[in-house]
Amino acid sequence: MKVLKNHWLQMALRQKLIVAFACFIVIPYIIIGGTLSWLFVQSNKRMILDATLANNRQIAQNIDTSLSPLLRFTMVPVQNKALFQLMRKDYEAAAFPLLERSQAFDEVGDLIRNSIMLYTDLIDSAVIYQSKNNMILGRSNNDYMNHAYLEHEFYHEPFVQSILSQHGNYVSVGIHEERLLSIKPTPVVSIGRAVVDPFSKEKLGFILFNINAENLKSLWSDIQFTKHARYYLVDQNANIIYSKDGGDIGKSAEAVLGKSFQAIAGGKEQLYQDKQNYAIKATSSLSGWSAVTVIPKHELFGFVDTILRTIAISLFVLLGLSIAASIYIATGVTKPLRRLERQMKLVSQGELDISIDIQHGEFGKIGVTINRMLQDIRRMIRTIYTEEQEKRRLETLALQSQIRPHFMYNTLNAIKWMANMQGASGIEEALTAFSSVIQFTARTQLDFVSVREEIQFIRDYAKILDFRYLGKFELTLDIDEGVWEYQILKFLLQPLVENAIFHGFDAIPYKGKLEIRVHEEEGNIRITVTDNGRGMSPQQLGSMNDSRQVDDNLNAIGISNIRKRIELHFGTSYGLTITSAENAGTAASLLVPVIKPAFKGDSR
Band of residue 332 on the pLDDT scale cut at 50, 70, 90: low
Q: Are the C-beta atoms of 69 and 300 separated by less than 8 Å?
A: no
Band of residue 602 on the pLDDT scale cut at 50, 70, 90: very low
Q: Which domains does the chain have, with CATH numbers?
A: 51-297 (3.30.450.20), 352-401 (no CATH), 446-593 (3.30.565.10)
Report the sign of the C-alpha dihedral through residues 337, 340, 342, 348, in that order: negative
- Percentage of residues in the chain having pLDDT higher than 90: 24
pLDDT of 514 reads: 93
Band of residue 433 on the pLDDT scale cut at 50, 70, 90: low
Q: Which residues neighbour 288 within 8 Å (Cβ) at sequence distance 6 or greater?
A: 172, 235, 236
Query: How far, in Å, are 108, 429, 499 from residue 496 at the CA level?
Result: 121, 24, 5
Q: Tens of pLDDT along 397-411?
A: 555 554 555 566 566
pLDDT of 475 reads: 93
Task: Count Cβ atoms below 10 Å from residue 580 Cβ, excluding itself.
Answer: 22
pLDDT of 549 reads: 47
Is the confidence at residue 552, as pLDDT, over 50? no
pLDDT of 57 reads: 84
Considering the chain, what is the average pLDDT of its residues? 80
**Nearest alpha-carbon partner for 434 in 452, 453, 451, 409:** 409
Band of residue 508 on the pLDDT scale cut at 50, 70, 90: confident
Distance CA 343, CA 434 (A): 61
Q: Which residues neighbour 271 within 8 Å (Cβ) at sequence distance 6 or greater?
A: 49, 53, 264, 278, 279, 280, 281
What does 46-64 look like in DSSP terms, one character per residue?
Answer: HHHHHHHHHHHHHHHHHHH
pLDDT of 26 reads: 65
Band of residue 41 on the pLDDT scale cut at 50, 70, 90: confident
Mean per-residue pLDDT for 537-551?
A: 67
Q: Tens of pLDDT along 218-274?
A: 776 666 667 788 888 888 888 988 888 888 888 888 888 887 777 777 665 578 888
Query: How far, in Å, are 234, 338, 350, 496 from residue 493 at the CA level?
Result: 96, 60, 42, 5
Q: Are the C-beta atoms of 241 and 249 separated by less than 8 Å?
A: yes
Query: How far, in Å, are 206, 304, 499, 503, 556 from residue 553 at the CA level?
Result: 122, 105, 7, 6, 9
Beta bridge partners of 196: 203
Most confident of 233-242, 285-294, 585-594: 585-594
pLDDT of 472 reads: 87
Q: Are the C-beta atoms of 23 and 326 separated by less than 8 Å?
A: yes
Query: How far, in Å, are 119, 165, 533 from residue 463 at the CA level?
Result: 124, 107, 18
